[in-house]
A and B are shown apart, each in its own frame.
Chain A
Amino acid sequence: MRLATRVVAVCLLGLATLLLGRAGAVPEGRIGSDARAEGLVLARCGTCHSTDLIMQQRLDRPRWQATVGKMIHWGAELSDEEADLLVEFLAARFHPTASGLVPLSEIGEAEPLQAEPLSMQERPNGVAQQGAALFATNCQACHGAGAGGGFGPKLAGNPILHAEASFWETVLYGRGSMPAWEHGLSRQDIADIQAWLKTL
């Protein structure tokens, strides 16, 4: 549990650095609720889409309200109080006059055509220390802090971690409500996450 708490803390700290670092000084006393709002962004918005989509928006309060309302209508799990907190946070950070610098990413492979699960030789060796942060960013929203389970199954101690073919096939191509990650994560990222999960 202590590890899980640390993972959440590291993850929130990372996002806070990213979100707050660009926005300049933050009024004191708001940091606690900001951290909670950032957690909501990761856990509730991040279920369906990566958070870069949010960070590139520049909307005023009524339009953030409308956007969050639409997402709740579509199934985002937010209580009224959480929704208010989120709108407050988003309108304060990603408002029309916020900095024009938006973090973006690049990919090297625009057209991955892997139709078959990777052979053993093509699976990179995972680095467990790298996996925790990758998991927090990409998987935690569904699989819970410390991979303890949530919307998606508990992965800590899950036998699929050792069923190589099933693990890779599921992560790369998805299964049921699990999205396919072949375009969202590199092979190395997946190997790192797998290595970290095996340490739990």
Chain B
Amino acid sequence: MVYQARLVEVVVMSSSGESLVREASVAPAMSRRTLLGRIIQGLGLSLVLSPAIPVVQAREQVVEISETDRLIVRVARPLDAETPVQEFVSFLTPNSRFFVRSHFGPPPQEQHSEENWRLRVTGLVDRPLTLTLDDLKQFETVTITAVVQCSGNGRALYRPKTPGVQWERGAVGNARWTGVRLLDVLRRAGLQTNGLHVQFQGADRPVAATVPLFVRSIPVEKALHPDTILAYEMNGRPLSLLHGAPLRVVTPGWMADSCIKWLTDITVQQDEAQGYYMQTAYRYPTRQVTLGETIALDDLKPVEAMIVKSLIAQPQAGAVLVSGPVMIQGVAWTGEGRIAGVDVSLDEGRTWAQARLIGEDQPYGWRQWQYIWEATTAGPRTILCRATDDRGNRQPERSPWNPGGFLWNGWDRVSVTVAG
């Protein structure tokens, strides 16, 4: 019985129209053959073939997988994992299914436990502060619904491939974040007029001291925006360790590289944060570039606001559909504007039909949409979607290539088969 927990982690998932066996994080560098060998040794062949255990039968797996509370692990250590897109049929992404990303993994217990944890506010302020979580909770409480998305979400879709975690579609989620305004904290500290950038640092640390710390900053305008918050709750529950307990930054409308987890230090300074993760990584060219080209530093700016994007949550890639009406549904979001519309195409983008926007409409949340497709012709079909925001920005077929693989927002596409 020792092996049972491991066995159920061997599931079949459909990705890019192909069925793959994805293995549990039992031992990341172990081949499927070796894993199966261990299972067979441990349990005997009869159990491996038991119907309770997912085997490679992609069609039958679709329903079972959609009901499974799982993330797709991209990197086992430090943990990077994305949400299977079929989860995005709900307005809020449950905490247990929200994507996980960090550079070094969560800090040790003694550093994030509430007794030991302190938030320090220093730099260009009149009154440096050291706050406990209780102190922080004395500020006015605010709750904001906001999409949080990894800057590299969709990196795997760029050609040529770019280095980094190969996120496909699910390094994004929509949650209600509760905390206090960064503005209120900075006011208490007495922000000085030459303080132009607000730097954040968390308690997470690399294995080797030679690796640069994950230190980022945001311009003071964003820091003083009343919707920029320091959050200690996510969807009404205390922030979990994987999501940055006890406190993280949430910069609504901006990419998650500004949403520092395990926050311990806020430093107001005249200049942007120094170091690799601000000056080299998370930068995006302001002009079209190609692989191998040298890009001048002046042509790179920090990744900040999100850009208009949509995803198809249902049906899933590889699904076999019964002919007749098919409900296509998904989500759409943008940076600091609002979603104006979502279009669906079933002919590779030659014609587009308007989807219906449904559900809650919150300033920084995503918008759910649906479209009923009369699927009559049997055979393979590709469903495409694209969103447009209220500033006239529309998703392109493919995003312009950039060396970091950031800000992918090409049309989302899902291939299905209509049964005859």
| Residues of A participating in the B interface, judged by any CB pair closer than 8 Å | 14-15, 17-18, 21, 42, 47-53, 56-60, 62-63, 67, 74-75, 96, 100-113, 115, 124-125, 127, 130, 133-134, 137-138, 169, 173-175, 177, 179-181, 183-186, 188-189
Contact = CB atoms under 8 A, between A and B. Distances in A.
Contacts, number: 188
- Which residue of B2, B13, B165 has the most chain A CB atoms within 10 A of its CB atom? B2
Interface stretch (B77-85, B344-352, B392-400): B77-85
A21 B29 contact: no
B73 A47 contact: no
A73 to B, nearest CB: 8
Interface residues of B, number: 66
B241 A105 contact: no
Top 8 A-B pairs, shortest CB-CB distance: A75-B210, A18-B31, A58-B161, A50-B76, A50-B77, A173-B109, A75-B208, A105-B25
Interface of B: 2, 5-6, 8-11, 13, 16, 18, 20, 22-34, 38, 69-79, 81, 95-98, 100, 105-109, 113, 156, 160-161, 163, 165-166, 206-212, 240-243, 292
Given A49-B78, A74-B212, A124-B2, A15 B29 contact: yes
Nearest to A103: B23
A105 B212 contact: no
Q: Specify the main secondary structure of chain B where it touches its partner.
A: loop
A172 B8 CA distance: 23
Contact of B108 (A48, A107, A109, A180): A180
Contact of B11 (A48, A101, A106): A106
B106 A183 contact: yes
Contacts of A48: 206-208, 211
5 contacts: A14-B30, A75-B208, A127-B2, A186-B5, A186-B6
Given A173-B108, A177-B208, A21 B240 contact: no
A17 B34 contact: yes
Contacts of A138: 27-28, 77
Nearest to A115: B109
Contacts of A50: 28-29, 75-77
Nearest to A104: B22
A1 to B, nearest CB: 23
Nearest to A126: B2
B160 to A, nearest CB: 6
A84 to B, nearest CB: 19
Nearest to A125: B2
A133 B34 CA distance: 10
Contacts of B95: 111
B161 to A, nearest CB: 4
